[in-house]
Amino acid sequence: MTMQWLDDRLNPILVKEVRQALRSRYFWGTYALALAAATIIGSFLLGMVDDPDELGAVFFGVVYFCLAASTMGLVPFQAFLAAGGTWDAERTNLLLLTALTPRQIVQGRLMASVVQIGLLFLALLPFLGLGFLMPGVDLGAFGVILLTTLLFGAFLSAVTIAASWLTANKLLRVLLMTVIGGGLLWMVGIAVAASSELVRSPDVMADDEFKWAWMAIVFHGGAVAALAFAAAVARISHPESNRSRPLRILVAALCLVGHIGVYWVQYSGSGEDELPLVMFAYLCFVLTVPMMGFLTEPEVLGRRVWLDVPKKFAALSSPLQPGSGNGFIYLTVLLGSMVFFVCLVPPIDVRDWTGEYVPGVLTAAGYLYIAVGLPTAPFARWTHHLWVRVVSVFSVPAFCMCALFLPALYGAIIDDWDLENFEHIGSPIYAIEWATRDHNMIHPAIVIGVAVTFLVNLPRMMRGLAMLNRARKAVPEASGGSAPA
């Protein structure tokens, strides 16, 4: 009776996926392969080890390879395969014929992968415990390695689930499968190498740098997994709904958490003076990817978005509404808030923060503003065409590459050493150094570029606000109504 009650309360996608996994040859093959490899290879290597102090490290390394290969490699790859196939038809059936939401569908698939990771971990736990009881394995290193592996197994599963819903084209899926397989193999190799180094040198865990580095790695992995989860939910949501709002909120929240983390490090006395500036520049670099998506959305609001627009203060909701014009407003508000936060709350014990580092912060923000706003502006009016959106997305890296390499190429032609070595305003690293160390002011070219970018994007911002205003003034009837064109 209890099991039946629990089965009714669990996510139905989780129940379905776990049942299918436990009946599939893939899971049981992975299960048997991990156990057989840990037993046979571990026993063989133990007979060849001469130094008794190395027994634990060698045996643990073999068992850990089996654990990492199964939880960080095979389970995420199985999640990619399970979420693929006829995903479009399955999405239609699940969303239209059941009461499930897109979030529940993605959550169920991810939880099924977590259950498989837990089963494989429990299967190898006796071998891991035996390796720990042998000489040569530190308790702290043992715990950190296993915790990190289990976390990244779940993180990678979220990424592969999101990747599986990128396209239904068979040729593209084969290419994507190759990329996913190679990436997972690379991650397993990194995990095995890092665990081997940590087992042999457990003293590094006492250093503050190791602690901050470990937390940064886990934070980045969790952030990527959260973005992948939100992207997967958006991908299978109704085309006329506000699919980008959760992503926009998540991006803003991650930026806030990143800033708080940097200030925590700074106030604890563990960070360098340049850490807030480096983190801000890094956030600007990472934000380029989601901003390319927000600034290339179709401008016409879908029916469900039209019904969801607030009747009062509709313009204030524009940063969280879909459309490339509203996306540029979101970019402006987010960057402005980040710059205001960094400039308003200077880190402790940083020499001359306002005069020395604030110009670097403004330079990094200006580069992001120009890099994603200027090349996408000419395509904004036609983003309802898929091929225009694709061209608009690729215009951002093309614009950045031209800004970086064309002056260097010109310097090579005229034999200018500075230009040839990327010491020009098209290089963000040089521009930030110019603003902080040399002149303590933002470069005039960046100021002009930001102003031009704002003016060029002003028409699409006005179109986005006008669309929201039309939706606000419309009176949707219970029986229907039509979205503004």
Structure tokens of 135? 């000489």
Same domain, 216 and 264: no
Give the number of other CB atoms < 10 A from CB of residue 314.
Answer: 18
Residue 104 falls inside a structural domain: yes
Same domain, 179 and 289: no
Same domain, 195 and 308: no
Residue 279 falls inside a structural domain: yes
Residue 349 falls inside a structural domain: yes
Nearest Cα neighbor of 323 from 459, 217, 142, 417 is 459
Same domain, 221 and 255: no
Q: Which of 182-196, 218-232, 260-274, 440-454 is predicted least confidently? A: 260-274
Most confident of 24-28, 257-261, 405-409: 405-409
The residue among 181, 211, 230 that closes a domain is: 230
The residue among 204, 230, 256 that closes a domain is: 230
Residue 438 falls inside a structural domain: yes
Same domain, 307 and 407: yes
User: Which whole number is the average pLDDT over 95-110?
Assistant: 75
Same domain, 67 and 202: yes
Same domain, 61 and 147: yes
Dihedral of alpha carbons 118, 124, 128, 129, sign: positive
pLDDT at 284: 77
Residue 7 falls inside a structural domain: no
pLDDT band at residue 478, thresholds of 50, 70 and 90?
very low
Q: Which of 199-213, 255-269, 285-299, 405-419 is predicted least confidently? A: 255-269
Own/partner contacts of 311-320, CB < 8 Å, gap of 24 or more, are 311/472, 314/468, 314/469, 314/471, 314/472, 315/465, 315/468, 315/469, 317/468, 318/464, 318/465, 318/468, 319/248, 320/242, 320/245, 320/248, 320/249
Same domain, 287 and 186: no
pLDDT at 370: 93
Residue 263 falls inside a structural domain: yes
Please tell me the total count of domains within the chain: 2
Alpha-carbon distance 283 to 218, whole Å?
16
Measured CA to CA in angstroms, residue 389 lies from 299, 380, 395 at distances of: 11, 9, 10
Note the pLDDT tens digit of each residue in 131-180.
777 776 778 888 888 899 999 999 999 999 888 877 777 787 888 889 99
**How is 418-449 classified by DSSP, letter by letter?**
HHHTT-STTSHHHHHHIIIIISSS--HHHHHH
Across the chain, what does the average pLDDT equal?
Answer: 79
User: Which whole number is the average pLDDT over 181-197?
Assistant: 90
Same domain, 166 and 253: no
Residue 466 falls inside a structural domain: yes
Calculate the dihedral angle through the C-alpha atoms of 300, 308, 287, 397, rounding to the nearest 10 degrees: -10
pTM of the model: 0.80
Same domain, 318 and 433: yes
The residue among 214, 230, 246 that closes a domain is: 230
Per the structure, the complete domain to which residue 203 belongs is given by 13-230
Q: Is the pLDDT of residue 96 over 60?
A: no
pLDDT at 399: 93
Q: Between these two residues, 326 and 275, which has the higher pLDDT value?
A: 326
Own/partner contacts of 100-107, CB < 8 Å, gap of 24 or more, are 100/12, 100/13, 102/233, 102/234, 102/236, 102/237, 103/233, 104/11, 104/13, 105/13, 105/236, 106/161, 106/229, 106/232, 106/233, 106/236, 107/11, 107/13, 107/14, 107/229
Same domain, 17 and 146: yes
pLDDT at 95: 56
Same domain, 206 and 298: no
Secondary structure (3-state) at 306: helix
The residues, any chain, with a CB within 8 Å of residue 17's CB and separated by 6 or more, are 82, 108, 109, 112
Residue 3 falls inside a structural domain: no
